[in-house]
Amino acid sequence: MSNFRYEAISADGTATQGVISGDSRASVVAALARKGLTATEVVEQKTEKPKGRKSSASSSGVSSALADKMKELDVDVPKDPTKVKIKSEELLIFTRQLSTMVEAGLPVDQALETLAEQTKSDVFRTILFVILNEVRSGTRISEAIARYSRIFPDIYVSMVRAAEASGQLGVILNQLAGYMESSARVKQKVKSAMTYPVLATGMIIAVAAILILVVVPKFAKMFDMVKGKLPLPTVIVLGVSNFMRAHSLATLGIIVMAIASFVVTLKTKKGAYYFDVFKLRVPIFGKLFSQVAIARFSRTLSTLLSSGVPILDALDIVERASGNEVVAEAVAASISSVSAGATLAEVFATRPVFPPMLIKMISVGEMTGQLDSLLDKIADFYDERVAAAVEGLTSMIEPLLIGVLGVVVGGIVVAIFFPMIKLTQSIGG
């Protein structure tokens, strides 16, 4: 913040002068106006800067006033801010607070400065100060945030751009915050549905590994005393145990390579597509994944259209933000057809990933001109279906996994004790 020498006239015509602190000449003029003074001259007082290396803030294009503020808050600009990521919760809180401030009439730059000062994340605070500097330099906020695509996704930038065009930044930011909250709720529901099966499966694998690698070898010498052939389950368990112990490094290497190959394959477009096809068709969970994909598609498209984003631009963003390659491929194929004059309902009717109810609602929405509101209703419907599916899966998966645990562990234990029973009988005979 710099010092400015000013001369001004009060409402009764009295001339006054003095020194006031401010971020810019414009902010000083506004501050004087709030005091009932009309500025006739505002001149920044130059201060001599110490020689030496520039701070990272000033070297990153931040104004001297903001550089001082950032230095005061111990904020440092990273080498490449465009590669910075933050938690989705931080962006959600920021969006909700920014929409509240803007709707209350606070100028965007002052709202950004307030949020930058109070945010807990040092990295996000830095990015907000850099964005604030660009906004005060005349850059539109949509252009300023577009540089940080790892923080602000396409849908975020597009909606802010549409808000600037319509002059409804506060309203659309509020819609965006609502969209983010709905997406977070669905994501949390799916996460809660998957947590128990993953943990239970890991426990089953761990228990089976301990039995095969630690317990079974201790009984192996006793099995040599058994006359005749060992039962088939025992032979299988002993064979697996001997192989894993004799080739432990090879087994570990195979597991690591399998996991690495799976991860690398998922990063390819084709691999991700086939994995998403599998997720939609897998028993038990397939219906849940399908409902989540449709809910996200409907909510994203509805939010974009209600914000004033053109249909083709909205479809392009939905393709990249769908979270499911099967849906993304269907949306991508629809863009050229829609641009040629076809309706969404006609195009989506040829894609089995979209249920008949969705297609019918889209058709009605296109005919009535209320596509965004009907898509929002569809998203609400599928959000409720997801919540119900999660509750049903939780109650169904628990006994199922307990049964699997019993079969695996019980099978190994039975395979161990079969020969012992036979040995006891031979000794008793």
d(CA 382, CA 387): 9
Angle, helices 371-428 vs 169-210, to 10°: value is: 10
> What does the alpha-carbon distance between residue 387 and residue 425 come to, in Å, rounded to a whole number?
56
pLDDT value for 204: 85
pLDDT for residue 425: 62
Q: How far apart are CA 128 and CA 109, in angstroms?
A: 10
Q: Which two tokens stand for residue 306?
A: 């209600």
CA distances from 313 to 147, 158, 319, 394 (A): 19, 9, 10, 39
DSSP H helices, 324-370, are 325-339, 344-348, 356-368
* Cα–Cα distance measured from residue 172 to residue 296, given in angstroms and rounded to the nearest whole number: 18
Q: What is the pLDDT of residue 199?
A: 85
340-359 per-position pLDDT tens digit? 888 889 888 988 889 999 99
In this prediction, residue 240 carries a pLDDT of: 85
- pLDDT confidence of residue 54: 41
Pairing of strands 38-44, 15-22: unpaired
Rounded CA-CA distance 411/426 in Å is 23
- Check residue 360 and give its pLDDT: 92
Question: pTM higher than 0.85, yes or no?
Answer: no
pLDDT tens for the chain, 429 residues long, are 567 777 777 766 677 777 787 766 666 666 776 677 776 677 776 544 444 434 444 444 445 555 555 555 555 555 565 666 788 888 889 999 998 998 888 888 888 888 888 888 778 888 888 888 888 888 888 888 888 888 888 888 888 888 887 778 888 888 888 888 888 888 887 787 778 788 888 888 888 888 888 888 877 777 766 666 777 888 888 888 888 888 878 878 888 999 999 899 988 888 888 998 998 888 878 888 888 889 888 988 888 888 888 888 888 888 877 788 898 888 888 888 888 888 889 888 988 889 999 999 999 998 998 888 899 899 889 888 888 887 777 777 778 888 888 888 888 888 887 777 766 665 555
Q: Residue 260's pLDDT is what? A: 92
From the list 172, 152, 161, the residue with the least C-alpha distance to 306 is 172
pLDDT (0 to 100) of residue 11: 67
Side by side, the strands of the sheet bearing 38-44 are 15-22, 2-9, 38-44
Q: Is the dihedral of CA 213, 215, 216, 219 positive or negative?
A: positive
